[in-house]
């Protein structure tokens, strides 16, 4: 018996015809804005950031289309092995990880340096979507169906907290919670889990939080207390955003980047540079492109027949939306500084490729939206 409906595309040509090219165009447009901003950050130099970002973007767009060609059954088959592999890599960070910027978050595999926590964001989405696709409907809304997902979310969170990386662990928790909610969990269980999570957060804040993490919270609440120390980044970011006004100072005319007032300008604070050079109008335009991309994700999710595909789309889209929300809120001083990049615009190899891989899964969900793989379908199940 065929895994797919007769309406699902069966060959490469028909699959390419089914691709949502508007989605691809939006991704490419946002990535191109990143190239332009990284070019500006180095005062009109392609090296070292802009050219590498362009190469990764080009390769990543190709990867995105390739990923979209694989049927849902393939991704269901590798979901659990991918999750286990990402978990092993996170353990490897604790054993032989590379320390940079005061945190041990990277691992070297030959000439490649990767950040396993970024890989886990995609692997966890696939694994949770596979679990709920296979779970009988009468168990989805009950407490019993929550035990395994809680472990699947909690295990990588604990390992990431040890790095320490509070921002990524919270982002992982929010993505996992969204998938569990979208799967159809009972509101009573959700409220109970919320109370439990609140209690756990209070315990963490009182007994386990790292000094630098508490300093970030205190700086967020009162950055003026240490304007040349802990509060320097956020104050300089607010100055740059404010100086941009309505339409900005113009491309490559920003002073915060050219005079090196703003640390991490190519990664965490790239939106600040954009706001200074293109003002409120430019910032809103970029957020509008992000909103259009996310709206496409919601439309794709609603068109998918398979539970697996719907949950994958909403899981990846939630991670993407949280990246944007946290980064923009952070540079505006509305959220603590937690080191979350702006997707497709900030410089970074692992983040760029995992984001584009995840978007490829969403693109693939659109291509195979009519597919209805049975429970237990997959290369390994």
CB within 8 Å of 112: residues ≥ 6 apart: none
Say if residues 110 and 296 touch (Cβ distance below 8 Å): no
Dihedral sign, Cα of residue 85, residue 91, residue 94, residue 96: negative
Rounded Cα distance, 286 and 29, in Å:
10
Rounded Cα distance, 319 and 121, in Å:
8
Query: Domain spans of the chain?
Result: 12-367
Say if residues 9 and 17 touch (Cβ distance below 8 Å): yes
Residue 104 bridge partners (DSSP): 99
Say if residues 297 and 362 touch (Cβ distance below 8 Å): yes
Residue 99 bridge partners (DSSP): 104
- 209 DSSP assignment: -
Rounded Cα distance, 326 and 348, in Å:
17
pLDDT digits (tens, 9 = 90+) for 42-87: 888 888 889 999 999 999 999 999 999 999 999 999 999 999 999 9
Say if residues 126 and 149 touch (Cβ distance below 8 Å): no
| DSSP structure string for 232-268 | HHHHHHHHHHHHHTTT-S-TT--HHHHTT-STTTTTT
Say if residues 64 and 21 touch (Cβ distance below 8 Å): no
pLDDT digits (tens, 9 = 90+) for 213-267: 666 676 666 665 655 555 667 777 778 788 878 888 888 887 766 666 677 777 7
pLDDT digits (tens, 9 = 90+) for 318-360: 999 999 999 998 888 888 777 788 999 998 878 888 999 999 9
């Amino acid at each position: 018996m065929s895994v797919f409906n007769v309406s699902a595309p069966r060959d490469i040509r028909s699959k390419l015809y089914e691709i949502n090219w508007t989605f691809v165009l939006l991704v490419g447009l946002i990535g191109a804005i990143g190239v332009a901003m990284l070019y500006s950050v180095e005062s009109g130099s392609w090296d070292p950031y802009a050219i590498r970002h362009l190469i990764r973007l080009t390769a990543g767009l190709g990867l995105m289309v390739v990923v979209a060609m694989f049927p849902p059954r393939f991704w269901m088959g590798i979901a659990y092995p991918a999750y286990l592999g990402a978990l092993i890599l996170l353990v490897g960070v604790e054993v032989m990880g590379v320390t940079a910027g005061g945190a041990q978050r990277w691992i070297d595999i030959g000439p490649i340096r990767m950040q396993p926590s970024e890989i886990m964001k995609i692997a966890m989405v696939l694994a949770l979507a596979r679990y709920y696709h296979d779970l009988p409907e009468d168990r989805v809304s009950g407490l019993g169906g929550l035990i395994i997902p809680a472990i699947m979310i909690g295990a990588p969170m604990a390992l990431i907290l040890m790095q320490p990386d509070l921002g990524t662990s919270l982002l992982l928790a929010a993505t996992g919670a969204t998938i569990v909610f979208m799967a159809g969990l009972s509101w009573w269980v959700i409220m109970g889990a919320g109370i439990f999570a609140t209690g756990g957060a209070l315990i963490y804040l009182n007994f386990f939080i790292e000094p630098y993490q508490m300093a970030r919270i205190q700086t967020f609440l009162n950055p003026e207390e240490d304007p040349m120390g802990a509060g320097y980044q956020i104050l300089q970011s607010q100055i740059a955003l404010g100086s941009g006004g309505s339409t900005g100072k113009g491309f490559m005319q920003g002073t915060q980047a050219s005079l090196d007032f703003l640390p991490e300008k190519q990664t965490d604070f790239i939106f600040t540079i954009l706001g200074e050079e293109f003002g409120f109008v430019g910032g809103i335009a970029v957020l509008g492109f992000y909103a259009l991309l996310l709206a496409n994700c919601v439309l794709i999710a609603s068109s998918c027949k398979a539970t697996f595909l719907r949950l994958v789309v909403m899981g990846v889209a939630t991670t993407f939306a949280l990246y944007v929300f946290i980064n923009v809120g952070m540079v505006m001083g509305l959220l603590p500084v937690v080191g979350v990049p702006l997707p497709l615009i900030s410089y970074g190899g692992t983040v760029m490729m995992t984001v584009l891989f995840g978007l490829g899964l969403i693109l693939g969900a659109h291509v195979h939206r009519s597919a209805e793989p049975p429970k237990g379908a997959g290369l390994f199940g």
